[in-house]
Chain A
Amino acid sequence: MVTLSYYLIFAAALFCIGMYGVLARKNAVAILMGIELMLNAVIVNVLAFWRFRTPDQIAGQAFAVMVYAVAAAEVAVGLALFISIYRRRNTVAADEIDLLKW
């Protein structure tokens, strides 16, 4: 029988893999992919809680819709920024974009 614990552990694992991607990768687009994995883990979590704890209330699904909107907006702006940075500095490696570093 599949309990809530299965989904929560799955979402936690996905989140941690995404976090490793964000912290350890050099290329900015690869970092964005890690962020997408983390957001997906969040949506899995929200929907698992909805299904197992309060399937009669619609709040869980509405929350998940908001997360989708935020994820889409963030990817669009992030990629626009990367393309703009690439045009000026000809690189998207995160450790080479360090003009503001002391």
Chain B
Amino acid sequence: MGDPINLIGDWLRNLMTGWGLPENLATFILTVMGVVVMASFLLILDIALVWLERKVVARFQDRIGPNRLGPFGIIQPFADIIKLLIKEDITPQGADRIIYNIAPLFALATVLMMWAVIPFAPTILGADVNVAVLYIVATGAVGTLGVIMAGWASNNKYALLGAFRTVAQMVSYEVPMVIALLIPVLLARSMGLQAIVDAQQPWFILVAPLAAAIFLVTSIAELGRAPFDINEAESEIVAGFHIEYTGMKFGLFYAGELLHALTVSALVATLFLGGWRGPFVDQVPILGVFYLFVKAFLIYYVIMWIRYSFPRLRIDQMLGFSWKFLTPLALVLLILTAILDKAMEGATPLVYTLVMLGMNILLVWATVQVLRTYARVERRRVAERRPVATATEADFKELIGQE
């Protein structure tokens, strides 16, 4: 009785086969209905995310945020949508019409596609693919394609520059992201997300906290949010690759970015925080949906917190951070996790968790030591005396023609 969604699905399927439809067609129609329900739910949730973003940023910046339209400004996002819809729809001259119009669709569609594999409850899952983790990486990769299409099709130097920088950033951060994603795959012995959630007897954030941190940081960089938002640096290249987009096309980019942030939060919750796990979820599966969203919004809050607390990174700092710090760290972590996992074949879960946690803490401490040494060397190099050009009194007199 705890799973209304599957009950409704079975009832509809019986209804349709009762009408004489073949089994395959009934399944197909149910799948299409499921897709429509899921997509609608997510897009409506997106509207709530717009409101949440503005309220939370306001509180971080010690102000109130929208509070005029409706109680606590709840109607504000609807006003924003109406504003975007009635704006003039411009296609810049010389832009490639078809690509220009398709690019925002790519940005939003790939984000919606990610939700097909996220398990909401033990019995509620879009598609139980056994390569779900790779599927997530694949849809993220197609998202970067939308960015480059948008940048090129706008026929605008700044949009193209912004697109290049964005894609360089996204591609650089995919490498540590995939390596960090391998760690829950390693611990759960499977690439399917339902199997990973099933294998989280202790949540994986206790077994591999460093992997969770690396995945979170690299995902924020993939999103293009601060502190990695060089691509839409408002004060520098004026909104980067979506500079020429107005109205609802811009709305699609913006909504896509927020929904991507929520998707990333749901992924972190699934991979590291136990997904739909929680008390009483075996008897009442629908509670799993509630637990997943609570955890996802917790991580979403952390992502917003990071956004409004850190200054923006420069492009060379950002790329150096990925290639010189995160990738070696993720590789070392993967190797150590694999070695320890094999070494502790028959250990009890408690010993396993403690040893892995100890290894993570040790690795963090070692990294901090390496960074301190490096910082000391760098500080000494910057602080050494350099010759500075100054003029003496005699030079000055000679310059103005005196004795």
**Chains A and B in contact, CB within 8 Å:** no
